[in-house]
Structure 1
């Protein structure tokens, strides 16, 4: 058995499959995944079980981990052998397979997944003025979808952790209620039919198998929502060159329109709003993750601080406009902010 494997949301173990296992005809190894306890969640979760989702998507989405229930409430996934997607430009083959993934995702509608969700309306838009639920699928409210994500970031990511990390955000110059401008922009978003979205399409979640094919793993952040959100998340996380980004945009537009016309309505203007949200969200996520990574006990890992501070400086710089930052703290200022926060922990030792 190999593990625990690298991953934030789950503790994962891989092991050889016995010949009688139903997965053994396609996979050399299986993997068991268990959600990590006391985890800080930075993204809203829609589906109660990634395993149940994978079972429901069997035959709908190609090249994803196959999953079987091997005992009551115990599911086993096939382990995708290969390497994560490199930082080289996408090959034509992988670009085509990425487009196929977008086609398959937008082809899965809200009412076609009969599996338990974390909340009855966790992935449905809410009218923030009347608190009435809208359950339309063919003409979904993309603005309400984004407002729900913003509300989650404000209340669950920042609000729930303000007692521990609030002073650090203050030190870094992140103002109170910085997402108000983004909220106002959501009312201008075009309506696009909701579909399945992966929610976390980055290089570590793409596996290139020995045959050179592209597989998509880690579906725990999947949801039903605005298909443009998947493109925005993908572009934000992949850090493509401008030329490659344009290729991916065109592949996405052609893919979703070919399956469900109207899925790319208003996409060029709306993409900028969604990218602004992703840049702002990254500040909350990365500031907290960095603080935790530096050490939650009395002895911080001071050696990690310079590199970590540089990363936070870049994240703040990228989010300066959507967060309304009048100026971005320098590397020295970011390091000083973290040092003061770390030293405030009872029993901390100074570097």
Structure 2
């Protein structure tokens, strides 16, 4: 089973259990230990995963770090854990102290849902102020998961991770500056862009006008890029028949242009894929958007509906077909995470087919 699928299953576990997790210790047992296990380390081997490891700091004796991960008898990761309701950003000073006296090159601060990975890229043996990698179980990113693979027991390589960590650090910094420019373009950016096509002096009034033009242009460019990616994800341009199969089941009396696929529908589709990948290959799970609903099909067959998202009204509904393709059962949902509550119905639908 690949790393992403394991993390998606952990997400389902977190969603289902977190309201019952009332202590930091319970957070460690229910969420953090499974995460460590997903990385391939034996949580039942006290020479590989050491809980409550004594980490004396100066005159302070008996200080303990929650977990130390060892490989080839050398510490490679230290974990400091907090309750899932606490921020994973608010306690890095404690991890700083542990990191200073540890031989591990990487520290992880986590609340069981967010995992912030730190290194000493700025100064040797002094943990950086900001993480170079963040894994959010409730918002998994493919590029972050790819970096996380380097921390698994089978793939761990110090040099590779450090190279990636440095790159990620600067990418995050550049992205942050870029987002600032989108929100409020600086004079420097305006001058750089405008000088390429405008040869008149940039007086104050023109600078103000070009700032507004630049902000609109940047926003428009990004929105169009997102729209193109959404269409590409659904193969709208390449395979319009995936979205509207008029021969089998006419679904509207208009054209494809009336169909608007939202980011929320795509996110819901990814959740359903994650649930169904426990039973079948993701390649067999196909999207089909219509004016009335966003459908999920087995084998891209309109006669094999798995579920439908009715998100085009004030109230959102999930329609499942565990009782047969002609017996859809619509249930109101208030957020996308509730889709995980219908895992049994979705699996039953696959079993029926």
TM-score tier, shorter chain, comes to under 0.3
- TM-score, with length taken from structure 1: 0.26
Query: Which structure dedicates a bigger proportion of its chain to strand?
Result: 2
- TM-score, with length taken from structure 2: 0.26
Higher CA-based Rg? 2
